[in-house]
A and B are shown apart, each in its own frame.
Chain A
């Protein structure tokens, strides 16, 4: 499972601005905006499929993201062992 967390568009991302400035110095132009987020990878085991979404919503809502300043989205796939 992969969860990505991003600062909300209304929240300034000073680290993103700094990287954007470095990218310009590297000579890469045309970058309109650059924002930094987080990626969390989770491997679930022994969780019933019907419970997966509820569990991941709980994690995102209460722990992974602070919804005052961040948005999140997630995707998951089944891995056969």
Chain B
């Protein structure tokens, strides 16, 4: 086992925290620690995952209440220190609500909860979260959300493009996201938010390993 410790934040209503634990510890042998959202102690933690789920029942807006937890408050210094933060699905929604990433997530265009493996294009290698090369930039990851339609205005989109901050795009845009955006990175490169679930694609026996690199990059 390596020396890094990844913290998995647990909010009331998180439901992918155990999946992330399995992917990190079970598949990648990375030491993990569950952190209750009311804790603000991130000492000894090298990277953080905000997992998927329905924090606070998604009341008001997805992620709107979770952003006021003590843990999110201490995340600002954590991110400033350059350590990595990965927000998956509800975690992505929390990152946009908290201002770590621009834009917002809203109800899917067809109003359905969409649960499906989808083809994606890697559009940036910034931060090392994904490998973009000239040969094959396509991966498949599962999505499972009702409110994953990414929205940002034209100026924000231009900034995302100019700084290579769009990490992933849907090749099949089922939720109606602006410009097919599935995941974005902050300017520093140490925060990634995405709607697809890399932690559910870390074992061949359950359908694929296209998510392994992203989780591994938490400690590299």
Instruction: Give me the interface of A with B, judged by CB distance under 8 Å.
Output: 7, 10-12, 14-15, 18, 38, 63-64, 66, 68-69
CB–CB A69/B106 < 8 A? yes
Query: In whole Å, how far is A23's beta carbon from the nearest beta carbon of chain B?
Result: 16
**Contacts of A7 on B, CB cut-off 8 Å?**
106
A66 to B97, CA, bound (A): 7
Which residue from B61, B68, B107, B109 sits with its C-beta under 8 Å from A66?
Answer: B61
CB–CB B97/A10 < 8 A? no
The count of chain B contact residues (Cβ–Cβ below 8 Å) is: 20
Cβ-based interface call for B110 (8 A): yes
**Contacts of A69 on B, CB cut-off 8 Å?**
104, 106, 151
Assess A11 versus B106: contact at CB under 8 Å? Given A18-B111, A66-B97.
Answer: yes
| A-B contact list, 15 entries, CB within 8 Å | A11-B151, A12-B176, A14-B107, A14-B108, A14-B109, A63-B60, A63-B68, A66-B97, A66-B104, A68-B96, A68-B104, A68-B152, A69-B104, A69-B106, A69-B151
Which residue from A15, A18, A66 sits with its C-beta under 8 Å from B64?
Answer: A66
Cβ-based interface call for B103 (8 A): yes
CB–CB B107/A15 < 8 A? yes
A13 to B176, CA, bound (A): 11
> Other than the known A7-B106, A69-B151, what 7 A-B pairs have Cβ atoms closer than 8 Å?
A11-B106, A14-B108, A14-B176, A38-B60, A63-B60, A66-B64, A68-B153
A80 to B64, CA, bound (A): 33
Which residue from A15, A18, A68 sits with its C-beta under 8 Å from B151?
Answer: A68
Which of B68, B110, B151, B153 has most chain A Cβ within 10 Å?
B151
**Contacts of B149 on A, CB cut-off 8 Å?**
12
Q: 1/0 per residue B79-113: CB within 8 Å of A?
A: 00000000000000000110000111011111100
Query: In whole Å, how far is B56's beta carbon from the nearest beta carbon of chain A?
Result: 12
Which residue from A12, A18, A64 sits with its C-beta under 8 Å from B60?
Answer: A64
Which of A11, A14, A15, A18 has most chain B Cβ within 10 Å?
A14
Query: In whole Å, how far is B151's beta carbon from the nearest beta carbon of chain A?
Result: 6
Query: In whole Å, how far is B179's beta carbon from the nearest beta carbon of chain A?
Result: 14
Query: In whole Å, how far is B137's beta carbon from the nearest beta carbon of chain A?
Result: 28
Least CB separation from B97: chain A residue: A66
CB–CB B176/A15 < 8 A? no
**Contacts of A63 on B, CB cut-off 8 Å?**
60, 64, 68
A18 to B104, CA, bound (A): 22
**Contacts of A64 on B, CB cut-off 8 Å?**
60
A63 to B109, CA, bound (A): 24
A27 to B104, CA, bound (A): 35
